[in-house]
Amino acid sequence: MRGSLRAEVRGTRMTTSEPAGPEGTGQATGGIQPAAPKPIPRPGPPRPGPRPGPTPVVHAATATPSCDPHQYGRVDPDGTVWLVSSAGERVIGSWQAGDPEAAFAHFGRRFDDLSTEVALMETRLESGTGDARKIKAAATSLAESLPTAAVLGDVDALASRLATIIEHADSAAAAEKARREEFRAAQTARKEALAAEAEELAANSTQWKAAGDRLREILDEWRTITGLDRKTDDALWKRFSAARESFNRRRGSHFAELDRERASARQAKEALCERAEELATSTDWGPTSAAFRDLLAEWKAAGRASKEVDDALWRRFKAAQDTFFTARNAVSAEREAEFRANAEAKEALLAEAEKLDTSDLEAARAALRVIGEKWDRIGKVPRERSAELERRLRAVEKRIREAPTRGVDPEAQARADQFRQRAEQYERQAEKAAAAGRTKDAEEARANAAQWRQWAEAAAEALGKRG
pLDDT tens, residue by residue, 66-103: 578 888 999 988 889 999 988 899 999 988 877 888 88
Residue 366: the pLDDT is: 85
| 220 and 245 belong to one structural domain | yes
As a whole number, mean pLDDT of residues 337-355 equals 88
> Is 161 in the same domain as 201?
no
**Mean confidence (pLDDT) of the chain:** 80
Residue 27 above 70 pLDDT? no
Q: In total, how many domains does the chain have? A: 4
pLDDT at 46: 35
- pTM of the entire structure? 0.42
By the 8 A CB rule, do 81 and 93 touch? yes
- Domain edge (last residue) among 164, 180, 196: 180
| pLDDT above 60: residue 59 | no
Beta-strand relationship, 25-26 and 18-19: antiparallel
Q: Are residues 97 and 144 both part of a single domain?
A: yes
Write down the pLDDT at residue 399. Answer: 84
Domain ranges, residue 250: 184-261
Residue 369 clears pLDDT 70, i.e. is over it: yes
pLDDT reading at 26 higher than 60: no
Amino acid 339: pLDDT: 87
pLDDT at 465: 56
Of 153, 180, 207, the one marking the end of a domain is: 180
DSSP per residue, 286-330: HHHHHHHHHHHHHHHHT----HHHHHHHHHHHHHHHHHHHHHHHH
- Do 168 and 199 lie in one domain? The reply is no
**What is the mean pLDDT of the segment spanning 309-321?**
91
Q: How confident is the model at residue 56 (pLDDT cuts 50, 70, 90)?
A: very low
Q: Quote the pLDDT of residue 179.
A: 84
Rounded distance between C-alpha atoms, residue 6 and residue 70, angstroms: 24
CA 183 remoteness from chain centre: 30
Dihedral sign, CA of 105, 109, 111, 115?
Answer: positive
| Residue 107 CA: distances (Å) to CA of 9, 60, 70, 186 | 12, 23, 10, 51
**pLDDT at residue 65 above 90?**
no
Determine the average pLDDT of the residues in 334-343.
Answer: 86
Tens of pLDDT along 196-224? 999 999 999 999 999 999 999 999 999 99
Query: What integer pLDDT is reported at residue 37 of this predicted model?
Result: 34
Q: Let me know if residue 235 belongs to a domain.
A: yes
Residue 24, pLDDT score: 33
| Cβ-contact 153, 85 below 8 angstroms | no
pLDDT given at position 48: 35
**Where a domain ends, among 180, 210, 225?**
180
Which tens digits make up the pLDDT trace of 114-127?
999 999 999 998 88
In a domain, 23, yes or no: yes
